[in-house]
Structure 1
Amino acid sequence: MELHVLQHPLVEHKLTVLRNKNTPSNTFRELVSELVMLEAYEATRNLAISDYPIETPVASMVGKKLSTPRPMVVPVLRAGLGMLDGMTRLVPTAEVGFLGMKRDENTLDIVTYANRLPEDLSGRQCFLLDPMLATGGTLIAATHYLAERGAKDVTAINIIAAPEGLDRLREEIDPSIDFKVVVCAVDEKLNEKSYIVPGLGDAGDRLYGVID
């Protein structure tokens, strides 16, 4: 597993405002989108490209364009949806899939309750979007779900991560997958309720409000 933690003054500033409990939802959503754009710049550094001949106003040249098949961006519902706008702004030609996962309260297993993905992801560079990497369980399940459809190149883009979750990813992600994680910050720990500390609270609730 390859881990990349962004080190940039803008990231630190925006993340501090994001963490503040007094930051309203509309500002929170804007900051998530901005942070994801900064993360996506690093996460897409190794996107496959191919030669593309063009005519400039002055001369002929051979430029570059993203290769096919197109990258696949997969937000994990529901909080991952808040990251989609920032990602597609940077990579507007990417194809978008959706994956809904939740924990079964009785068995504690991760259950897939929704998906909108191609059956065959062979040769696709896939990007999983989820703001919080806490225990790592959902991300592991999502990564292996993509791998079952042929994905071998998976990058997780998270806003913040807990060291416990990262350790679990290193242990449980199938080593045959080229797996990378891009985060804005690795926080101190998980508390007894598996919330990231200092964290930023429940990302879904802060993005969209509390559902009773």
Structure 2
Amino acid sequence: MSTVHLIDHPLVQHKLTLMRRKEASTNSFRRMLGELSTLMAYELTRDMPLQEIEIETPLETTTGKVIDGKKLVLVSILRAGNGFLDGMLNVVPGSRIGHIGLFRDPQTLQPVEYYYKMPDKMCERDAIVVDPMLATGNSAAAAVSHLKNRSQPKSIKFMCLLAAPEGIATLQAAHPDVDIYTAAIDRQLDDHGYILPGLGDAGDRIFGTK
């Protein structure tokens, strides 16, 4: 079974609490999400492989370790996943970007795909799938299935702000090889598939559409 990594750094928890407040403006919500995603990106990239290269300092030749950001793909589940991208690119600016467009049918709560676009040579790349909310887990599981079936990256991780126990169970059952990184595991889902206590609809709060 995959591992659930709870990122409980004080700065992450502080910003998440401020984002949860219903009176947080679109501007402040978006800004804090960018800051928080940068902090979370440090944790996700902790085990990225390094290679040694030769460099010239002002005094002599030496070797140093670098990561190959071009081998990393940030896969955004549209539309809310895009809120993670700028913050993560602050840490790994060489990353490629992929998009999977899914919306949740309000009646069945099942994901419906409308867009898929990935960089080439995915078999040589590590993928981080990002979506702020892991609620029912259906969209996340579907996105990872599309990624595996169509692009076959070297590895896949999943990153979210909030996770519900139901969503974690769904994603782990469908993809036991995909580790989950989250800033909080909330209590449960309500009858409409929203996370409680949650923070509302992340997409609406990021883009100011409600």
When the two structures are superposed, what TM-score results if normalisation uses the length of structure 1? 0.92
| Secondary structure of 2:27 counterpart | helix
1:47 correspondence with 2:48: yes
The one-letter code of the counterpart of 2:198 is G
The one-letter code of the counterpart of 1:70 is K
% identity of equivalent residues:
40
* Range with greater deviation from structure 2 (144-153 or 199-208): 144-153
Show the counterpart of 1:181.
180
1:161 correspondence with 2:163: yes
**Superposed CA offset, 1:167-209 (max 9, x none):** 1112111x4x4x1111111011111111100000000111112
| Secondary structure of 1:135 counterpart | coil
CA distance in 1, matches of 2:47, 2:179: 11
The alpha-carbon deviation at position 104 of structure 1 amounts to 4.3
Unaligned residue ranges in structure 2 (runs of 5+): none
CA distance in 1, matches of 2:71, 2:154: 14
Show the counterpart of 1:210.
209
CA separation of 1:14 and 1:109: change in aligned 2, threshold 3 A: closer
1:110 correspondence with 2:111: yes
Show the counterpart of 2:5.
4
The alpha-carbon deviation at position 152 of structure 1 amounts to 3.8
Q: Return the structure number with greater helix share.
A: 2
**Superposed CA offset, 1:48-89 (max 9, x none):** 221111011122111122237520111111111111110111
**Superposed CA offset, 1:19-56 (max 9, x none):** 00000000000111111111100101122221111011
Show the counterpart of 2:145.
144
CA distance in 2, matches of 1:110, 1:11: 29
CA separation of 1:166 and 1:30: change in aligned 2, threshold 3 A: same
| Secondary structure of 1:97 counterpart | strand
The alpha-carbon deviation at position 210 of structure 1 amounts to 2.1
Unaligned residue ranges in structure 1 (runs of 5+): none
* Range with greater deviation from structure 2 (131-140 or 62-71): 62-71
When the two structures are superposed, what TM-score results if normalisation uses the length of structure 2? 0.92
| Secondary structure of 2:48 counterpart | coil
The alpha-carbon deviation at position 119 of structure 1 amounts to 5.3
CA distance in 2, matches of 1:51, 1:100: 37
CA RMSD for the aligned pairs?
1.7
